[in-house]
Structure 1
Amino acid sequence: MDFVLKEEKGFSYIEEGQGEPLLLLHGLMGALSNWDDVIREFSPNYRVIIPVLPIYDLPLLTTGVRALSKFVHKFIKFKQLNNVVLLGNSLGGHVGLVYVLAHPGYVKALVLTGSSGLYENAFGGSFPRRESIDFVREKVQYTFYDPKTATEDMVEEIFHTINDRHKVIRILAMAKSAIRHNMKNELRKITMPVSLIWGKDDKITPPEVAIEFNELLPNSELHWVDKCGHAPMMEQPAEFNKYLKLFLDKIKK
């Protein structure tokens, strides 16, 4: 990743470009680099901002989607943002949904891709022995339509993460929080424009999840990305960016 990570007032984030803010939220096992192609495509015309979500830094008792939503609100106030277009992948989408219900005045529109919040096949309720990198490789490949998208660097990074006891306890707590926090009964309250950009071959949040989101969110549109798993912005970035641009053009004042 060739973007500069800024450290300021306890926040770590990438910020590129000028214009309307696009705030990007990564997933549970995701990294800021997951959004590289979105930054490159949209930073010439938008202010693209990606905060590091403090998944490993929250007190264990408060580790959950609500705590991450509160963190996002602190970050938005710190950066003095308004009229935000919020984009979330996987857990990041779930956090975005919780956030817009609590603070709709700050957000203009929402983009969800592979979002949790209704149903997801989690990474796993437990992890195998430290030396089982093959298990990790298999799980990371499962995230994508094309297993080759799961680079060895990505596998190594996740392997080291889940072999850190402090981190893995919080990953499991966050995953359980996401499963418990089902949003089916709250989605009709979200009336802002929502774009669902979904991998047709997503095995983590399968296509029926996207269809249910589309049915429950009153002002939503659904776009399918073929030959694509749980992270369209990584696996099929050109297609993802095409649908994102169409949506951003549509919601311009």
Structure 2
Amino acid sequence: MKFALKQEKEFSYIDEGEGEVLLMLHGLMGALSNWEEVIEEFKSEYRVIIPVLPIYDLPLLTTGVKTLSKYVHKFVKHKGLTNFTILGNSLGGHVSLIYVLSHPEYVKAMVLAGSSGLYENAFGGSFPRRESYDFVKEKVEFTFYDPKTATKELVDDVFQTINDRNRVIRILAMAKSAIRHNMAKDLHKITVPVGLLWGKNDKITPPEVAEEFNQLLPNAELHWIDECGHAPMMEQPERFNILLRQFLDKLKK
């Protein structure tokens, strides 16, 4: 990770550049490094902020998407942020949706990539073979269109995470919370502009999920990224950045 992690109170975060704020939220198994190419591209014109979501640190009983949204708001207030664009991948997209519903006055626009909130086909309800490295490797590769995107470093990281009992219990609790917290009935209340930047070959939140988001969100636009799975900002960063820039430029008009 080439960007420095800052620490204040209970918050760890990346904060690069100056200007209008892009607040980025990572996924359940995602890391801040997933956004490296996006930070690199936009830090000369925007202030890019990425908090570490405390997925593994919450009390088990409160581990869920709503609690993460409350944490994000605490962070937003701590940093004094307003009128920002929120971007979320996977679980981070789900947290973004809940956040915008709860605090629309803080948010200028939202970008979702492979967001949960309607449907997802993740690891399933358990990790029956989490001791098996090959099984974990296969599951990480499933995230991407090109299995080579699942580097050994990435697979090692996920393998280590899901073989930590404390972490795996929270991952499962968070995944169940995400499934329970379906957003379909609430999406019509989100009126900010929403950019849906979606991998055409996403197997976790497949294309029909993006189409449903596009129908249910009143002010959404959907853009496909070819040869791309669940994490477009990692797998096709150039295309993702072009589409993100086009969306952000429209907001300036």
> For this structure pair, what is the TM-score category when the shorter chain's length is used for normalisation?
over 0.9
RMSD: 0.7
Aligned to 1:93: 93
The CA distance in 2 between the partners of 1:216 and 1:173, in whole Å, is 27
Percent same amino acid at aligned positions? 75
Deviations 1:196-219 (A, max 9, x none): 000000000000000000000000
Gaps spanning 5+ residues in structure 1: where? Answer: none
- Structure 1 residue 124, shift from structure 2 partner: 2.5
TM-score by length of 2: 0.99
Aligned counterparts, 1:159-238, within 5 A: 159-238=159-238
The CA distance in 2 between the partners of 1:95 and 1:77, in whole Å, is 16
Matched position secondary structure for 2:246:
helix
Aligned to 2:45: 45
Matched position secondary structure for 2:80:
coil
Aligned to 1:158: 158
Letter of the aligned partner of 1:169 in structure 2?
I
Matched position secondary structure for 1:248:
helix
Letter of the aligned partner of 1:177 in structure 2?
S
- Structure 1 residue 131, shift from structure 2 partner: 3.1
Letter of the aligned partner of 1:115 in structure 2?
S
The CA distance in 1 between the partners of 2:225 and 2:127, in whole Å, is 31
The CA distance in 2 between the partners of 1:252 and 1:130, in whole Å, is 47
Letter of the aligned partner of 2:225 in structure 1?
V
Q: How many positions carry a matched residue from both structures?
A: 253
Matched position secondary structure for 1:154:
helix
- Structure 1 residue 128, shift from structure 2 partner: 3.1
The CA distance in 1 between the partners of 2:242 and 2:131, in whole Å, is 41
- Structure 1 residue 123, shift from structure 2 partner: 1.6
* Kept in 1: contact 2:32–2:50 (CA 8 A): yes
Matched position secondary structure for 2:252:
coil
Aligned to 1:245: 245
Matched position secondary structure for 1:50:
strand
In the alignment, structure 1 residue 15 sits paired with structure 2 residue 15: yes
Letter of the aligned partner of 1:230 in structure 2?
H
Letter of the aligned partner of 2:53 in structure 1?
L
- Structure 1 residue 130, shift from structure 2 partner: 5.0
Deviations 1:211-251 (A, max 9, x none): 00000000000000000000000000000000000000000
Aligned counterparts, 1:61-72, within 5 A: 61-72=61-72
The CA distance in 2 between the partners of 1:214 and 1:126, in whole Å, is 30
* Kept in 1: contact 2:225–2:232 (CA 8 A): yes
Aligned to 1:131: 131
* Kept in 1: contact 2:17–2:43 (CA 8 A): yes
Letter of the aligned partner of 2:80 in structure 1?
Q
Matched position secondary structure for 2:195:
strand
- Structure 1 residue 78, shift from structure 2 partner: 0.5
Letter of the aligned partner of 2:116 in structure 1?
S
The CA distance in 2 between the partners of 1:156 and 1:15, in whole Å, is 27
Letter of the aligned partner of 1:52 in structure 2?
V
The CA distance in 2 between the partners of 1:49 and 1:123, in whole Å, is 28
TM-score by length of 1: 0.99
The CA distance in 2 between the partners of 1:184 and 1:124, in whole Å, is 21
